[in-house]
Chains A and B, each alone.
Chain A
């Protein structure tokens, strides 16, 4: 009686029915099922495209100031009137009217028929009024709302010092807003408490020469033409620099730190941790104790300390010192992780088998140990990117990061916070970009963790 008989040898038994999947193929398949991770991946690709190719598609100098459109919110291009070059305005003085009042008066009339001379443009607003009997001069004020009383006339622009000088030209930072000009007669020194108000809305204007210098018009353009000013799709900052161009330039800084710092410290951590873990013993103990010390350094303080220790020369942006400081302080976490992995893998049967088959140290390390730690390393790397972007943003925000005028998302936030109430777009855009980038990398990291976790693999 034979209970057992050898199975018939055939090809079918030996054949693997389902296609064999490598670890990475399997992980990729599981990652593809994770919608959040895939969306994050698309976002990261988009941001990489924005950073690398954006400046070629949007060729605006991020340092160029557009003083006609300072702190401009995102809007369609604005129209402006071309004007001839500025000509000095002659003072209006009436010869047959007394410059000095003949006697002191308690009360005078408010200036009558306060009017505009020429068209009001942002190049200049020219005012004139009828002379006031008894006045020895006039003070001119400008307000951005209708004056509620004598104490609410707004910005004192200037004065004339003769009762017969009845004109004033305002060229002080004019914008295409509505202004309320007030003229107050004086006795040459003190004001009378009367005033006249004129509402003026200057037309946005630039000179032909300036428009040509800024490449806004062709050579045939003449004064009086209406042209479009530079287009700023995301508005401008407080110095009139294009936000979109600056965000792209800032992305280069933020992502440079965000990608390369983790790359370098992870590589160093792999070398350090792998070395310590593989050789073990006393060397391992000493190396890891040193890593423990570096972990204990207060991170942000030492980032700042190292950065000033490396020094930033004139004309430098301070990115490289920040990168070095970040690498110097961040490697121990990876080293510790890799060491733990290596210690685990070193005891595995396949390492022993490879060694018995005559594998040398470097063969074992590069063929077996490092590839098997790659999953954990990839996850570390993905989570290290947002952390590095955060650190750069923090440092630049408190003014310890990149040196102006180099933009980074963090330093742009710093500038934006100051004008947060009146021009929120200067804070919103860089803050949004930081948040979205960090969010995408975090979600992708979560996806990698789930996809590469071999414990989950067996459940399917």
Chain B
């Protein structure tokens, strides 16, 4: 298990290096000049700025500096081009927690909802609740999240108008009430996917021998359902969580955009619009590293939960 974890970590480090290199190459293909803006800048100022951002050095040296600056334990992504004297590290430190909380809540919603609804559809297989939930699942997969976001806002506007005061705020960030609707919207797609997966997983488990054994032993149906069927059916659902975390983090872009949430995704879009080179590179590498770490964590955790994986 330790060797497996170590192997995965080494591969992860190489992956992060690849992401950083790809980011560096892509950013150096961007047409234009990071120091070019509307203001006329004298040559002296320009030279000083280039020196400050290390742009006066050859590209190969810039690449090495870029890589060495990012080495742990103290990675440094440089200074923002457009926000005066603000370090990229600070931007990430300030705004990533917002995205992380949003994502965590969304994952929680999605997992709980997916397992619950998936189990329900399996219990009521080919009966009305099954059809209704599976219809909603198809909707959840087919309707883009920004439409859900807009509909969610519309719902909140009407609910608030009915109550007479802003019970659940339509947009913004700060309290738990602010977080409810965005994280629900963000989790919907994943919830639909997990429900579908949970349903087929439940139906597969039902035919296993150990369920028959349990039934033959005379265990109560509830006990069989909770202890034998549900627990075994959840396992394959958890594997998909790693990649889904990635999907939720990037899906957060749209939700942050619609609900005006000061998360890292919104800052990334803003940085792209203003061509803020250091922020774009820093955010991309940071997100990449985060996602790699998440996938490894889920895989390793899965090894602990399911002993069969450890043997491989």
**Could you tell me which A residues sit within 8 Å of B by CB distance?**
292-293, 296-302, 304-306, 308-311, 386, 390, 393-394, 397-400, 410, 413-414, 417, 420-421, 427, 431, 434-436, 438-439, 442-443
Contacts and interface: CB of A to CB of B under 8 A. Distances in A.
Contacts of A308: 30, 272, 275
Interface string B22-37: 1100110111000000
Contacts of B157: 421
A256 B291 CA distance: 30
Nearest to B19: A297
B258 A301 contact: no
Given A300-B253, A304-B272, 16 more contacts: A296-B292, A297-B18, A298-B246, A298-B284, A299-B246, A301-B287, A302-B26, A305-B272, A305-B284, A394-B144, A397-B144, A421-B157, A435-B139, A435-B142, A438-B144, A443-B138
B283 interface: yes
Interface stretch (B41-49, B57-65, B69-77, B146-154): B146-154
A399 B287 CA distance: 20
Interface centre among B11, B147, B284 (most CB of A within 10 A): B147
A400 B146 CA distance: 14
Contact of A297 (B11, B154, B288): B288
A302 B30 contact: no
A309 B254 contact: no
A435 B147 contact: yes
Contacts of A311: 30-31
Contacts of A421: 154, 157
Interface centre among A297, A311, A414 (most CB of B within 10 A): A297
B143 interface: yes
A297 B250 CA distance: 12
Contacts of B280: 305
Contacts of B253: 300, 394, 398
A420 B26 contact: no
Contacts of A399: 269, 273
Contacts of B283: 301
Contact of A413 (B18, B23, B147, B153): B147
A338 to B, nearest CB: 20
Interface in B289-303: 291-292, 295
Given A298-B291, A305-B280, A439-B138, A398 B26 contact: no
B144 A390 contact: yes
B26 A301 contact: no
A55 B256 CA distance: 36
Interface in B1-40: 11, 14-15, 18-19, 22-23, 26-27, 29-31
A25 B128 CA distance: 34
B153 to A, nearest CB: 8
Contacts of B249: 298
B141 interface: yes
B4 to A, nearest CB: 16
A285 B179 CA distance: 45
A302 B11 CA distance: 20
How large, as a class, is the contact surface on chain B? 35 or more
Contacts of B30: 308-309, 311
B18 A302 contact: no
Contact of B22 (A297, A300, A394): A297
Contacts of B153: 420
Contacts of B141: 438, 442
Nearest to A393: B144
B288 A398 contact: no
B29 A309 contact: yes
B203 to A, nearest CB: 15
Given A300-B253, A310-B29, A399-B269, A438 B18 contact: no
A421 B155 CA distance: 11
A301 B18 contact: no
A442 B142 contact: yes
Contacts of A302: 22, 26, 284
A302 B144 CA distance: 20
B268 interface: yes
B173 interface: no
19 contacts: A296-B15, A296-B291, A298-B291, A300-B253, A301-B283, A301-B284, A305-B27, A309-B27, A394-B146, A397-B144, A397-B146, A398-B253, A417-B146, A417-B258, A420-B150, A420-B154, A421-B154, A436-B142, A442-B142
B60 to A, nearest CB: 19
Contacts of A397: 144, 146, 254, 257
Nearest to B12: A296
B144 A431 contact: yes
A436 to B, nearest CB: 8
Contact of B142 (A292, A310, A438): A438
B147 A398 contact: no
Contacts of A442: 138, 141-142
Nearest to B147: A431
Contacts of B269: 304, 398-400
A309 B18 contact: no
A398 B252 CA distance: 11
Contacts of A413: 144, 146-147, 150
A410 B18 CA distance: 31
A306 B26 contact: yes
Contacts of A438: 141-144
B254 to A, nearest CB: 6
B23 A305 contact: yes
Contact of B144 (A292, A310, A400, A434): A434
B150 A427 contact: yes
B201 to A, nearest CB: 17
B74 to A, nearest CB: 23
Nearest to B271: A304
A427 B144 CA distance: 12
A420 B158 CA distance: 13
Nearest to B25: A309
Nearest to A389: B144
Contact of A435 (B27, B144, B287): B144
Interchain residue pairs A-B with the least CB separation, the first 9: A439-B142, A300-B250, A309-B29, A311-B31, A293-B18, A309-B26, A431-B147, A296-B15, A438-B142
A398 B260 CA distance: 12
Interface centre among A293, A390, A398, A439 (most CB of B within 10 A): A398
Contacts of B31: 311
